[in-house]
Amino acid sequence: MFNNTDKRYNQFSEYLKQKFGVKVYKITLDAGFSCPNRDGTISSGGCIFCDETGSFSRAHSSLLSVEDQVIEEIENQRKRFKAEKFMSYFQAYTNTYKPVSELEKIYYSSLKHPDVVGISIGTRPDCVDEDKLNLISDISKDYYTWIEYGLQSIHDKTLKRINRGHDYNCFLRAYEKTKEKGINVCVHIIVGMWETREEIMQTVQELARLKVDGIKVHMLCALQGTKLAQMYENGEIDFCTMEDYTYLLCDMLEILPPETTIHRLAGNGHRFTLVAPDWMGAKFECLNLLDREFLRRNSYQGIKYSPQ
Ligand code: SF4
């Protein structure tokens, strides 16, 4: 139904395959960035769910230069998947949190390898400005380019509760400026932060109104050493079941525009530091449940989307 597959939603990996003619693999990079919400600039505690890896999904490799990380990962992925094309992905911490002259060197050093066709930069909406966006916009003239903004929720009371350190309006300003520069934007949101179903759906409805280019959905999870893990142990939060999460995912995808690419719905990272919920690592089971739910409803992404 999407991208010449039987998928009922616009999976980003399949979208990339259509666009480039081969599968494109993301290379997660750690360029040694920090985060203003951890280093004391905004707060020193960070988001309540953030552990010491700063949302990095694999072992740190910051002892290697960015260029060498790219070479090493390309070799690994070629061996494992026979991969041919790649996107560099700055994932750990806040990847625009350095002066623009340094960012320029870091980003371009990840693009030197001839098989790297694009770049994706994960950051906070309060860590971009005109100069940084101009740099990323320049890169986008030669490379397939995305910015990934952590938003998590449109509800300021939730952003406060998770100690996010910015509000929804801050996201909206950054989003609009980024779109003015012609850069693709993927927005990260989190399910399970003490919000009602209605509040979660309001966030997705707003992203549908903005017609965001891409979305990543995370289930809130408690990792060892985080404030959230402490709250979980104190009985201050509980997590939903995998079934409830996938039904909700289905509801969410139904109201998004069909053009919005779906970058992530479930993951299998953090195996060794996961505290709860215990089903978090079962990525394929979760995605299979979602496929079955779409089939059961005879539904698909965008079926309930109404342009505003
Ligand atoms: S913005 Fe990202 S890196 Fe910074 S504290 Fe929050 S989750 Fe961690």
Mean pLDDT of 104-127: 98
Nearest CA-CA partner of 31 in 114, 76, 88, 112 = 88
Distance CA 220, CA 119 (A): 26
Q: Which contacts qualify for 280-287: CB closer than 8 Å, 24 or more apart?
A: 280/219, 280/221, 282/242, 285/242, 286/242, 286/245, 286/246
pLDDT band at 22 (very low <50, low <70, confident <90, very high): very high
- Best residue among 34, 37, 158, 159 to mutate for probing ligand 1's pocket (most ligand atoms within 8 Å of CB) is 37
Residue 5 confidence (pLDDT) above 70 = yes
Q: Write out pLDDT tens, residues 166-217.
A: 999 999 999 999 999 999 999 999 999 999 999 999 999 999 999 999 999 9
Q: Is the CB of 219 under 6 A from ligand 1?
A: no
Nearest residue (by CA) to ligand 1, atom 6, is 47
Nearest residue (by CA) to ligand 1, atom 3, is 93
Cα distance from N-terminal residue to C-terminal residue, the chain: 24
- Best residue among 53, 56, 57, 93 to mutate for probing ligand 1's pocket (most ligand atoms within 8 Å of CB) is 93
How much is the CA Rg of the chain, to the nearest whole Å? 19
Q: Write out pLDDT tens, residues 212-271.
A: 999 999 999 999 999 999 999 999 999 999 999 999 999 999 999 999 999 999 988 777
- Best residue among 41, 94, 167 to mutate for probing ligand 1's pocket (most ligand atoms within 8 Å of CB) is 94
Structural domain tally of the chain?
1
Task: Answer whether residue 6 is part of any domain.
Answer: no
Distance CA 104, CA 99 (A): 9
Task: Answer whether residue 30 is part of any domain.
Answer: yes
Q: Is the CB of 122 under 6 A from ligand 1?
A: no
- According to DSSP, the residues that pair with 191 across neighbouring strands are 219
Task: Answer whether residue 91 is part of any domain.
Answer: yes
- Atom number, ligand 1, closest to the C-alpha of residue 54: 3
Q: Label residue 31 left, alpha or beta by phi (over 0 means left) and psi (-120 to 50 means alpha).
A: alpha
pLDDT band at 62 (very low <50, low <70, confident <90, very high): low
Q: Domain of residue 185: give its range.
A: 12-297
Coil, helix or strand at residue 90: strand
Distance CA 208, CA 220 (A): 21
pTM of the model: 0.96
Task: Answer whether residue 180 is part of any domain.
Answer: yes
Task: Answer whether residue 4 is part of any domain.
Answer: no
Which two tokens mark 159?
Answer: 């952003």
Task: Answer whether residue 186 is part of any domain.
Answer: yes
Task: Answer whether residue 229 is part of any domain.
Answer: yes
Compute CA 104 distance to the chain's CA centroid, rounded to the nearest angstrom: 22
CATH number at residue 46: 3.20.20.70
Task: Answer whether residue 192 is part of any domain.
Answer: yes
- Atom number, ligand 1, closest to the C-alpha of residue 92: 3
- According to DSSP, the residues that pair with 149 across neighbouring strands are 123, 187
CA 53–ligand 1 middle distance (angstroms): 9
Q: Is the CB of 165 under 6 A from ligand 1?
A: no
- Atom number, ligand 1, closest to the C-alpha of residue 35: 4
